């Protein structure tokens, strides 16, 4: 069964069983002038709007809050459905809901859309209050740290002083690590999934090629495009490049091999002869329907800038975690070649040298980097058991 088929089967099963139910997207606006948010670049940004959603009930002492942190193209819609006839649930509905790995009968789960995105939070497609026009390329460059600062403002707004666990994969995992060293006194536990302390040259290279695809599109117009003439071709190619890094050689071999697309012979032109070509073109065309090209540029640049070792360790991996206090569960996947397991082992080793309570699990999975987003009973049990253990320790 392929990853897509596995997800489709899950959705059909879940619609007939337990889900997080109906959810509502909410908004919080802060950092009005003159109290704008100061970014790591030194620029100021405000007012800022954060889109967020919650599942479960916050207990009286506000000690059961879990913060979910999404990856590049994710959003605040983590679980449940917007309406009774909604065809597709939130992006991590496999993990969040009653009786699931992150049990909404026990925990109050929060997920906000990162700043710089285009899914409800302030980003380059938002209107600049000073000019009355969209920010476009006038939006300031942001960092993973800036994203966390905005999330901190949201948790303050919700009155949450301690977070039971911060959980996220990929770029979301970077935010998990940033939270743990930026606000160590707030974080009880953390689960970084399929992530890294800093991008390798390979990861930066793929992001740069994807960005260049967007910027080479004439409709990009130096980032100042309108809704009628967007750089859709460039963004579609960028998504195709990125999507390749999320898969694995094994998953692509099993799913596509060298199968032809709806034909018996080669066309001897530049149409999509192979199924993998058709699949990537489809992924690119669907992506432009829901995502903004400038947001793709800004978020990938933030990921490339992320360097926990340089910022908090002055070049020392061990020193990077000297401020952290959380209990950690670090998870990697065998087929993830974007953030391979050796990078997770590096952070685990540094955590242990700081005498932190850390567990590590490398999960056998053939689906590549995206494995944490697909149904996986072992991952669900790991997360559930880890969170139960954290709660038990707090009650002692």
Q: Is 369 a catalytic residue?
A: yes
- For tokens 């002055």, the residue is 314
Q: How many CA atoms lie within 13 A of 128 on its CB side?
A: 14
Q: Is 170 a catalytic residue?
A: yes
- For tokens 């403002």, the residue is 153
Specify the pTM: 0.95
Cβ 94 vs Cβ 10: under 8 Å? yes
Q: Is 269 exposed, middle or buried (0-12, 13-18, 19+ CB in 10 A)?
A: exposed
Cis-peptide into 241, omega within 30 deg: no
CA distance 320 to 390: 23
**Partners of 26 in beta bridges:** 52
- For tokens 């800038």, the residue is 305
52 backbone dihedrals φ, ψ, rounded to 5°: -150, 160
Give, in order, the Cα–Cα distances in Å from 164 to each of 190, 268, 305, 392: 8, 58, 28, 12
Give, in order, the Cα–Cα distances in Å from 334 to each of 54, 280, 298, 331, 372: 32, 23, 29, 10, 11
80 conformational bin, left if phi > 0, alpha if psi -120 to 50, beta if neither: left
Selecting among 335, 336, 341, 370, the annotated active-site residue is 336
CA distance 260 to 278: 9
**Partners of 362 in beta bridges:** 332
Pick the CATH number of 3-199+308-395 from 3.40.50.10860, 3.90.1150.200, 3.40.50.1820, 3.30.70.580: 3.40.50.1820
Selecting among 70, 77, 199, 369, the annotated active-site residue is 369
323 backbone dihedrals φ, ψ, rounded to 5°: -90, -20
172 backbone dihedrals φ, ψ, rounded to 5°: -65, -35
Selecting among 170, 189, 295, 320, the annotated active-site residue is 170
In total, the chain counts a number of residues equal to: 396
Per-residue pLDDT of the chain (396 residues; tens, 9 = 90+): 444 554 554 455 454 457 899 999 999 999 998 999 999 999 999 999 999 999 999 999 999 999 999 999 999 999 999 999 998 999 999 999 999 999 999 999 999 999 999 999 999 999 999 899 999 999 999 999 999 999 999 999 999 999 999 999 999 999 999 999 999 999 999 999 999 999 999 999 999 999 999 999 999 999 999 878 999 999 999 999 999 999 999 999 999 999 999 878 898 999 999 999 999 999 999 999 999 999 999 999 999 999 999 999 999 999 999 999 999 999 999 999 999 999 999 999 999 999 999 999 999 999 999 999 999 999 999 999 999 999 999 887
Cβ 156 vs Cβ 65: under 8 Å? no
Of 63, 26, 54, nearest to 159 (Cα)? 63
- DSSP state at residue 115: T
Q: How many CA atoms lie within 13 A of 25 on its CB side?
A: 16
């Amino acid at each position: 069964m392929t990853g897509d088929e596995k997800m489709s089967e899950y959705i059909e099963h879940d619609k007939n069983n337990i889900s997080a139910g109906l959810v509502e997207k909410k908004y919080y606006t802060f950092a009005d002038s003159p109290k704008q948010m100061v970014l790591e670049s030194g620029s100021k940004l405000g007012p800022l709007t954060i889109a967020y959603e919650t599942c479960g009930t916050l207990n009286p002492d506000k000690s059961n809050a879990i913060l979910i942190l999404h990856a590049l193209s994710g959003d605040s819609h983590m679980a449940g459905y917007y309406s009774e006839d909604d065809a597709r649930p939130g992006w991590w509905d496999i993990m969040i809901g009653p009786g699931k790995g992150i049990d909404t009968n026990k925990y109050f789960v929060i997920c906000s859309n990162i700043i710089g995105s285009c899914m409800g939070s302030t980003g380059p497609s938002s209107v600049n209050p000073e000019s009355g026009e969209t920010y476009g390329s006038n939006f300031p460059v942001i960092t993973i740290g800036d994203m966390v600062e905005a999330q901190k403002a949201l948790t303050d707004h919700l009155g949450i002083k301690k977070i039971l666990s911060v959980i996220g994969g990929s770029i979301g995992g970077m935010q998990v690590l940033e939270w743990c060293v930026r606000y160590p006194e707030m974080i009880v536990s953390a689960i970084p999934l399929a992530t890294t302390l800093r991008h390798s040259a390979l990861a930066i290279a793929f992001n740069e090629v994807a960005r260049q695809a967007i910027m080479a599109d004439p409709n990009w117009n130096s980032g100042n495009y309108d809704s009628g003439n967007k750089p859709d071709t460039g963004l579609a190619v960028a998504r195709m490049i990125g999507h390749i890094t999320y898969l694995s050689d094994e998953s692509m071999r099993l799913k596509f091999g060298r199968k032809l697309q709806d034909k018996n012979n080669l066309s001897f032109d530049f149409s999509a002869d192979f199924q993998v070509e058709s699949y990537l073109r489809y992924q690119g065309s669907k992506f432009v329907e829901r995502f903004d090209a400038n947001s793709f540029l800004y978020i990938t640049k933030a990921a490339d800038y992320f360097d926990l070792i340089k910022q908090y360790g002055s070049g020392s991996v061990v020193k990077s975690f000297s401020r952290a206090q959380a209990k950690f569960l670090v998870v990697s996947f065998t087929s993830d070649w974007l953030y391979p397991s050796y990078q997770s082992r590096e952070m685990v080793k540094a955590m242990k040298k700081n005498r932190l309570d850390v567990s590590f699990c490398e999960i056998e999975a053939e689906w590549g980097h995206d494995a944490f987003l697909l149904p996986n009973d072992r991952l669900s049990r790991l997360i559930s058991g880890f969170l139960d253990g954290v709660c038990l320790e707090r009650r002692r």
